[in-house]
Structure 1
């Protein structure tokens, strides 16, 4: 009976009847079933608060298959249970079983670095060094090596090894990867300036200003290092809305991971700073991390349809230096979309996108594919240890927003926000009474920081003379 129901669930999944298929997987999947239905079942059990059932299912599947996907699912449950030592054992076994998989070696280093032994970076560094030849062999695909060097350079910086840091930073820069951020440009320029190599320092900053055309930090560093007037910031193609009348307070946090609870975490950071009428805006990407709504490179088999979709989109959106590709241009992103909304819906969305292109209309693919696909963030969109994962949005952002708001008490609101540096903010979910349009206007300048700033929480309040962010109770 169980096997028949899982097969039925898989058919419904292909037909994009995801609510039914996920319910069937969650109810009937067993460790003897394939990785995919077990994966969906583990997600469903965790969303329902059935952590022990999810643990038993994930462990059973891992013990049977020893596949990268089942191992990463089991690690996720172990991190939720804060069993970091067992998570390290599973990661180590994955790296040993699949010695040619660079991503699994990086995962092993990350579990040690960020969870099981964070006070001993040398252990993680040794594991990362073992991954270096694997990542280098994957060039010209620069993603694995850029992810690795992001970690290695930070460890060299922490221990003050400037020779190794300079060498690794130059290697990192040469990849022209989108995860080489303004702080890396500035650090590399400072290293050269400290050694008297002023011309190279200027070249590095000039490259940064061209790559990050709107970044004020690079231009401040340009002036501070005595290079005169920096390259100008070009005008925006689309002006930002009127942002006056709102106070926005980015809240610095620790590294938030899948081991943290979003409601309790947000409450611990903001409860002493809240005022009546405030809205707490929380990053959609970080909310997804905390729910485990992500897929890791090197663990998920890529279907033919996902490869076709990604190649189709990649051909329309070529990637430049220090820029990211279109989200669906990565095969794992396309696979993530398939798993989230089903093959039939993606096929219809591809057709709709083609029709839209014929009529010179953008965005029809995402209109048909739905908001969960529109929320997908590609790899390198987050900070370590999650910069080689494709991120979905939270499962139910409205429910999560209301849970956060209830945890904070009466008179305040909460929202899950997806914002970018193009002047676009999207309240993907919000608690009762939140004025979503007003909040999106206030957040249009993207004050949150999911990268090295680690400010995924923003307190937003309307100042005197500006309409409030909460509507009147009914």
Structure 2
């Protein structure tokens, strides 16, 4: 398991063991089915639940936007100066992510969201901007080369049809999976196999401490295994 992340946790009175699975540096256009077969199946047992980083699935789906294809306008540069930074990843303080937001939902909506976010800050409310522009914008990652130089030139969108992806993985490999957008501040469940019978709060609790990490760990897969009751 990654540094400072416990292997065993207890959720709702049940113990679980979690194993971080190291992979190679996944490239754009690889097959997520092949990745699961190569790295997960040798360790998987019936009853296990696989937690997958959304970035890996999105890269396999070629869900990327390149800096070279997205000229940054004056509005994006202006608005990004007033946005807060975060240790959780790229935010709209990056002109590129702000430009993506404008391209995705339109300038008028972004301006109104920025105004409301400013009022929200005065009232002690955070995250107003992302609530208003939606998950496609809030989930965009990349555009920085702090950990991996290759990631400096493109942004990674959230996966398309994550529930369907999880069902496909289970049909092809037997592995029950969920796709998560997790960092050290927050966890979102983007999708899971239709066979998963745990509710969203339970799924979030299983990875609430972001066991995959968000640095150079190269552990996009976390295998979660229920342990026998004592």
- TM-score (ref. length: structure 1): 0.42
Match of 1:420 in 2: 183
- Report if the CA contact (8 A) 2:23-2:39 is conserved: yes
Q: Distance in 2 between matches of 1:405 and 1:276?
A: 12
The answer for unaligned runs of 5 or more in structure 2 is none
Deviation of 1:286 after TM superposition, in Å, equals: 2.1
Match of 1:305 in 2: 75
- Report if the CA contact (8 A) 2:29-2:59 is conserved: no
| Pairing 1:274–2:37 present | no
Deviation of 1:337 after TM superposition, in Å, equals: 2.1
| Pairing 1:246–2:10 present | no
Cα 1:305/1:263, change in 2 over 3 Å:
farther
> Greater share of helix residues, 1 or 2?
1
Q: Distance in 2 between matches of 1:404 and 1:347?
A: 40
CA displacement, residues 399-442 of structure 1 (integer Å, 9 cap, x when unaligned) = 22222222222xx42111122224x3221222214323222111
CA displacement, residues 318-369 of structure 1 (integer Å, 9 cap, x when unaligned) = x8xxx68751101011112223333343233223313322432111111111
Match of 1:132 in 2: none
**Number of equivalent positions:** 219
Q: Residues 120-199 of structure 1: matches in 2 within 5 Å?
A: none
CA displacement, residues 271-314 of structure 1 (integer Å, 9 cap, x when unaligned) = 2322222211111122222222223334421123322221221x
With 267-276 and 251-260 compared, the bigger mean Cα shift is at 267-276
The answer for unaligned runs of 5 or more in structure 1 is 1-214, 217-239, 467-474
> Greater share of strand residues, 1 or 2?
2
| Pairing 1:339–2:109 present | no
Deviation of 1:257 after TM superposition, in Å, equals: 0.7
- Report if the CA contact (8 A) 2:90-2:141 is conserved: no
**Greater Rg by CA:** 1
Q: Distance in 2 between matches of 1:419 and 1:325?
A: 10
- Report if the CA contact (8 A) 1:302-1:335 is conserved: yes
> 1:372 is paired with a residue of what secondary structure?
helix
- Report if the CA contact (8 A) 1:283-1:450 is conserved: no
> 2:82 is paired with a residue of what secondary structure?
helix
Deviation of 1:267 after TM superposition, in Å, equals: 2.5
> 1:356 is paired with a residue of what secondary structure?
helix
| Pairing 1:392–2:154 present | no
Cα 1:333/1:397, change in 2 over 3 Å:
same
